[in-house]
Structure 1
Amino acid sequence: MSPKPRHNGDDPLLRELAEAQSAARAVPETVRAAALAAFSWRTVDEELELLVLAHDSALVTGAGDVRAAASDGQRELTFRGGALSVEIEVGADVLGHLVPPQLGRVTLAGTREVLAEADADALGCFRLPRPERGPVRLVCRTDGAAVTTGWIRL
């Protein structure tokens, strides 16, 4: 039978733990600032009402609820909320209007940045450039409401 390995105590483990702690303290200030900025954005849209997707022309209801592409490349979406609803038509651009009609500011947001912004006129109409790809959402602010759509792919 072989002898048991000699136990060196806790010193090697404590040295390794001390090294790990000092490495954790060595986080660059730019990384810390980015982490704090990301953390502060966790509640940025708490005051926004989430609109419900009420209509999407890309969905064909009927025989089995099958997804279908629009034949003319156009897509119509309606988002409904308590104080404000948004209707958009997606083609070469994103054309839309606020319901009820009113002045406002509409933001087209991607996952990492604001892609475009436009003012809605007195009739609630606005135009935004169509994004190339990726998930987007609309954020609409008027004197009486602040709403956002869920994430969609246009």
Structure 2
Amino acid sequence: MTDEEIITALAEARREAAEVPDRIREIGRSAFAWRTVDAELAALSTESLTGARAEQAPVRALTFAARDLTIEVEVTDDALHGQVVPPRTGEIELRDRTGVVAAAQVDEVGWFVLGPVPRGMFRLHLRAGDTVVVTEWVTI
């Protein structure tokens, strides 16, 4: 075996060793999800859904209720406008299945704007001091 063949064989072995099986990747993603296990889950309040008629109407307002706060969101054509009640400063993230899509600061009166409007499933992740709240997944 020549030096070049040995180097090629070693490079191939290293490449194969670096490949991670799909099952192991899935286990890693699941373990990563546990990093927010201590975050409080904010549930969507059903009374915040608009257009509860027989024909389908767009959802224009959402309210997520947690133990000590609510996150109110109005959906516009280009962004999510929201408020944390009672007001507190912090950071809020818009996340889809791939991760963080947008982030915004929550000001002293609890207001924030996240854009663009998500297409498909998303959730909000709020960090305000020691409080961490994650909403359930929704689609608008």
Do they superpose with TM above 0.5? yes
Structure 1 residue 45 corresponds to structure 2 residue 30: no
- 1:108 maps onto 2:86 in alignment: no
CA offsets per residue over residues 114-143 of structure 1, 9 Å max, x none? 100000000000000033411000011111
State whether residues 84 and 145 of structure 1, in contact with CA within 8 Å, keep that contact through their aligned partners in structure 2. Answer: no
**Aligned pairs, how many?**
122
Residue-by-residue CA offset, 1:6-32 (whole Å, 9 max, x unaligned): xxxxxxxxxxxxxxxxxxxx9642416
Q: Is the 8 A contact 2:75 2:117 kept in 1?
A: no
Give a deviation string over 1:15-53, Cα, whole Å, max 9, x none.
xxxxxxxxxxx9642416x72642431312201111111
Question: Tell me, what secondary structure is at the counterpart of 2:36?
Answer: coil
The equivalent position to 1:83 in structure 2, one of 68, 75, 82, is: 68
1:135 to 1:125, Cα distance in 2 relative to 1, 3 A: same
Question: Does the 8 A contact of 1:83 with 1:145 survive in 2?
Answer: no
Q: How does 1:25-44 map to 2 (within 5 A)?
A: 28-31=17-20, 35=25, 37-44=28-35
> Corresponding residue for 2:48?
56
Distance 1:99 1:67 in 2: 32
In 1, the alpha carbon distance for the partners of 2:35 and 2:130 equals 18
Structure with more helix by fraction: 2
The TM-score with structure 2 as length reference comes to 0.75
Q: CA deviation at 1:85?
A: 1.1
* CA distance in structure 2 between the partners assigned to 1:52 and 1:113 by the alignment: 20
SS in structure 2 at match of 1:51 = strand
The answer to whether the aligner puts 1:140 opposite 2:131 as a matched pair is: no
The AA in structure 1 aligned to 2:57 is A
Shift of 1:56: 3.1
Unaligned 5+ segments in structure 1 are 1-25
Percent of aligned positions that are identical: 28
Runs of 4+ in 1 over 6 A off after TM superposition: none
